[in-house]
Amino acid sequence: MDKLRIRGGRELAGTVRIAGAKNAALPALAAALLTEGEVTFANVPMLRDVRTMLRVLEHHGARVENGSRDSVTVQAGSIASHEAPYDLVKTMRASVLVLGPLLARCGRARVSMPGGCAIGERPIDIHLDALANMGAEVRLEHGYVEARAKRLKPADYTFPLVTVTGTENLMMAAALTEGTSVFRNCAREPEVVDLAVLLRAMGAEVDGDGTEVIRITGRRELGGAEHTVIPDRVEAATYLMAGALACRRLEVADCRPQDLKAVLALLESAGVPLTAGETSIVVARPEKLVAVDVATAPHPGFPTDMQAQYMALATQARGVSRITETIFESRFMHVSELRRLGARINVEGQTAEVTGPAALAGAQVMATDLRASASLVLAGLVADGVTVIDRVYHLDRGYEPMEVKLGALGASVERVK
Ligand code: EPZ
């Protein structure tokens, strides 16, 4: 298993280019199952989870062709298998995104239950309830979801809680269902909007994406399309935190500042100087970092995917930052690892109280989930001495090689096989 060795204390500077969004690419790739036409994607991030999704699509019979650096073409001319097997789904729970497309395309789907992960139980009960509302017969047996629907019917459904992939699964199912479906209490994430852009390009009528009510008039058949994946707002925000921690001046390029309003507001209130342009943001380490409280929330609130990274920054802020996680029940796995580096954090229920500034010292730490690993990299940049992060495959799931991007800014980060 690879490790990252970081020698902290360097002052970084330069430009980092943001890749396409993992959480936009995954549903968009799954949507290619909705048509026998060819779908060509650009700005696809080269990540472990994207490679896994491409393998899932090939498993279902799609032809996958990698184009230039960040483009890929998928054509699901026919569906060879309507079953998403356990060994694929267990490596990436986002494989459940094939459920809606398979059900709409073939009238049946057999998808392994994803199982929990480090940040929580992460059920898909709402996905299933909503599909049942569209006329699917859904049964759970031997750890698999068995769903059948001779023909899905349009529905008017209210999500009992905001679910990103739940919204996306139902949008895809409705896009290939004749008639108009209305979904209420939908997720409003930019990645949901990006999926709507693709579904419209494939021929479905989609309105209200980005708001809590989405109306979709589906078709019997959808066509191929070309689609450019939006930039990854979580990667961009992660590098903004790196900038606030360790950079004389950092330009975060090829991003979409409009997707980052809550993150930019939080950083500004913490005293971080930021200048946002059309497609880039310039950030620098402030003289004085101030403690600011934050609670995660569905978009446009502060993203749960940035909670761990903000915690690393908060260890250097003057005062007590109270960080409350409202989306997942156990997304504080990074706390014990940050403590090993010298962070002063006290957890009360869903709130972590971070007291700073704390002098961090390098140590052996272990990554537990994707964003927790990013938090440890950020802390390693400012820890005195060497930090070695184990189980770096978590990081590789969602970030293009950080040692390359950080190294280009002057950081001492090396990957140890
Ligand atoms: C998506 O996960 C993202 N993944 C996650 O990013 C992100 O953290 C999460 O949304 C929240 O923003 C992808 O887009 C591939 P949810 P998702 O359904 O859709 C509960 C990362 O780091 N829930 O919005 O699985 C659930 O347990 C990953 O890139 C149900 O109870 O999250 C959670 O508490 C991590 N029943 C809450 O809703 C359901 O049927 C929000 O989950 C579905 C969800």
Per-residue pLDDT of 1-35, as tens digits, reads: 899 999 999 999 999 999 999 999 999 999 999 99
Q: How buried is residue 207: exposed, middle or buried, by Cβ count under 10 Å (0-12/13-18/19+)?
A: middle
Q: Model confidence at 249, in pLDDT bands (50, 70, 90)?
A: very high
Architecture of the domain spanning 22-228: Alpha-beta prism (3.65)
**Res. 90: pLDDT tops 90:** no
Pair 251, 280: CB distance under 8 Å? yes
- Report residue 302 as tokens: 């502060």
Q: So which residues are the catalytic ones?
A: 117
Q: What is the arithmetic mean of pLDDT over 285-296?
A: 97
pLDDT at 91: 85
**Res. 162: pLDDT tops 70:** yes
Domains 3-19+231-416 and 22-228 share a fold: yes
Pair 286, 247: CB distance under 8 Å? no
Pair 84, 55: CB distance under 8 Å? no
Q: How buried is residue 415: exposed, middle or buried, by Cβ count under 10 Å (0-12/13-18/19+)?
A: middle
**What residue owns the CA closest to ligand 1's atom 14?**
23
pTM: 0.97
Closest CA to 194 of 27, 52, 69: 27
Ligand 1 proximal residues by C-beta, below 6 Å: 22-23, 26, 94, 120, 122-127, 161, 163-166, 304-305, 327-328, 370-371, 398
Highest mean pLDDT among 11-15, 47-51, 113-117, 143-147: 11-15
**What residue owns the CA closest to ligand 1's atom 21?**
305
Burial 283-309 (b: 16+ CB within 10 A, else e): bbbbeebebbebbbebbeebbbbbbbb
Q: What is the arithmetic mean of pLDDT over 238-257?
A: 98
Task: Quote the CA–CA distance of 172 and 97 in Å, as a whole number.
Answer: 9
**What residue owns the CA closest to ligand 1's atom 37?**
327
- Alpha-carbon torsion (304, 213, 130, 23), positive or negative: negative
Architecture of the domain spanning 3-19+231-416: Alpha-beta prism (3.65)
For the chain, give every domain's residue range.
Answer: 3-19+231-416, 22-228
pLDDT digit string (tens) for 350-380?
A: 999 999 999 999 999 999 899 999 999 999 9
Neighbours of 277 (CB within 10 A): 11
Mean pLDDT score across all residues of the chain: 96
Strands 351-356, 179-184: pairing is unpaired
Angle in degrees, 0-180, between the axes of helices 333-340 and 370-382, rounded to the nearest 10? 20
Q: What is the arithmetic mean of pLDDT over 290-301?
A: 98
The atom of ligand 1 lying closest to the CA of 125 is 40
The atom of ligand 1 lying closest to the CA of 234 is 29
Pair 93, 117: CB distance under 8 Å? yes
- Alpha-carbon torsion (128, 200, 70, 415), positive or negative: negative
